[in-house]
């Protein structure tokens, strides 16, 4: 494939000036694990760090897209610039071919202060602990005050992504046995704000009750610690969105005040560093030639002349030399 040359400084400058195409191109570089990423990230770093990252997660059909659209509207009313990343951790496809159709955000499609992007996170080298924070950084440096990260489904990867956010919103709907599912998926621990959507349906109050009960079981109730509220919404009618905004604001204030925000951002950066380092190591393992190369060691393990732990030690030692 012919390689298109990338003028990174020009691209970053356009993105910072708010050019949607430049932002889109930078996110594509992230998805592709492009060779210029190092330069891109170095150029973006001084301009990032002020966006409020809000994760939204929940089972398919629970109302994430609808809620995200409503929240975008609410943030726009405050005059803020908003980025939306829809991440599908299970999809190896990039460019949003699948998710693109999913996002029904025509309300905001023409608003130049709103960037909407779907992406596959199980991309090339990185995996989600790499691509998602980098895409967030692009939107952050492009001047987004808020970045909403919507993940599809309730599985381990979604929990991981949601855990990367400054504020994590977990959505549930009545009658889907979601409360139990949430407990199983470990989602109760990561929710800062719980939303029971589709409150126009039967069973919403029971779901709210169940959820409050389950949250209270895990309540550490130390002073200064955040207690996740449960908010009822009918996102399709924009009912309850003000309450969700209020809960988000309160969480942000609390997390800034008690140091939780700083801790989360550090954890996010640590995950990112670790996955970049691991990918770098892995590529070096692959290129290590000679006697101590990975394939040579593998042959010895197959032959039984070396055990895998000793082989791994040798591989690691070679890296340092």
By CB under 6 A, is residue 106 in contact with ligand GDP?
no
Taking CB under 6 A as the rule, which mask of x and - marks residues 218-237 in contact with ligand GDP?
Answer: ----------------xxx-
Q: Which stretch binds ligand GDP (CB under 6 A): 13-21, 56-64, 157-165, 242-250?
A: 56-64
Q: Does residue 132 belong to the site contacting ligand GDP (CB under 6 A)? A: no
| Pair of tokens at residue 100 | 């693109």
Count of residues that bind ligand GDP according to CB under 6 A: 15
Distance CA 213, CA 294 (A): 52
No. of helices (H) and no. of strands (E), the chain: 14, 7
Residue 26 CA, distance from chain mean position? 17
Q: Does 207 bind ligand GDP (CB under 6 A)?
A: no
Q: Which of 221, 267, 226 is nearest to 248 (CA)?
A: 226
Minimum distance, C-beta of residue 295 to ligand GDP, in the bound complex (Å): 44
Q: How far is the CB of 158 from ligand GDP (least distance, A)?
A: 11
Over the window 234 to 273, marking each residue x when it contacts ligand GDP by CB under 6 A and - when it does not, the resulting string is xxx-------------------------------------
Residues present in the chain in total: 321
DSSP labels, 222-250? -TT-----EEE-BGGGTBTHHHHHHHHHH
Nearer to ligand GDP, 88 or 260 (CB): 88
* C-alpha–C-alpha distance, residues 170 and 64, integer Å: 9
Stretch that binds ligand GDP, among 1-9, 28-36, 113-121, 195-203 (CB under 6 A): 195-203
Count CB atoms within 10 A of the CB of residue 17.
10
> Minimum CB separation from ligand GDP for residue 235, in Å?
4
Give the nearest distance from C-beta 94 to ligand GDP in angstroms.
Answer: 20
Q: Does 175 bind ligand GDP (CB under 6 A)?
A: no
- C-alpha to C-alpha distance for 69 and 53, rounded to whole angstroms: 16
Cross-strand pairs, 58:
153
130-146 in b/e burial notation, b at 16+ Cβ within 10 A? bbbbbbbbbbbbbbbbb
What's the closest the beta carbon of residue 109 comes to ligand GDP, in angstroms? 16
Residue 149 binds ligand GDP, judged by CB under 6 A? no
In 3-state terms, what secondary structure has residue 228? coil
- Catalog residues that contact ligand GDP under the rule CB under 6 A: 58, 60-66, 197-198, 200-201, 234-236
């Amino acid at each position: 494939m012919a390689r298109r040359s990338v003028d990174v400084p020009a691209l970053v400058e356009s993105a910072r000036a708010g050019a949607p195409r430049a932002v889109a191109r930078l996110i594509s570089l992230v998805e592709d694990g492009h060779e210029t990423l190092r330069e891109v990230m170095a150029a973006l770093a001084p301009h990032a760090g002020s966006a409020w990252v809000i994760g939204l997660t929940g089972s398919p059909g629970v109302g994430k897209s609808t809620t995200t659209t409503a929240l975008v509207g609410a943030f726009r009313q405050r005059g803020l610039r908003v980025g939306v990343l829809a991440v599908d951790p299970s999809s190896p496809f990039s460019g949003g071919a699948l998710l693109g159709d999913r996002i029904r955000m025509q309300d905001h499609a023409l608003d130049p202060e709103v960037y909407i992007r779907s992406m596959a996170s199980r991309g090339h080298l990185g995996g989600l602990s790499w691509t998602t924070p980098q895409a967030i950084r692009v939107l952050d440096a492009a001047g987004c005050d808020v970045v909403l990260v919507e993940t599809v489904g309730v599985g381990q990867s979604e929990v991981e992504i949601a855990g990367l956010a400054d504020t994590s919103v977990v959505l549930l709907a009545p009658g889907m046995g979601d409360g139990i599912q949430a407990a199983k998926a470990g989602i109760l621990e990561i929710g800062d704000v719980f939303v029971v959507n589709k409150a126009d349906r039967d069973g919403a109050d029971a779901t709210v009750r169940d959820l409050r009960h389950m949250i209270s079981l895990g309540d550490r109730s130390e002073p200064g610690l955040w207690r996740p509220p449960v908010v009822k919404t009918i996102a399709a009618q924009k009912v309850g969105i003000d309450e969700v905004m209020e809960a988000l604001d309160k969480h942000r204030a609390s997390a800034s005040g008690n140091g939780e925000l700083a801790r989360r951002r550090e954890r996010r950066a640590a995950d990112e560093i670790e996955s970049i380092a691991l990918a770098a190591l892995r590529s070096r393992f692959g290129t290590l030639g000679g006697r101590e190369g990975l394939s040579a060691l593998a042959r010895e393990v197959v032959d039984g002349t070396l055990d895998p732990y000793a082989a791994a030690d040798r591989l690691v030692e070679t890296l340092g030399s």
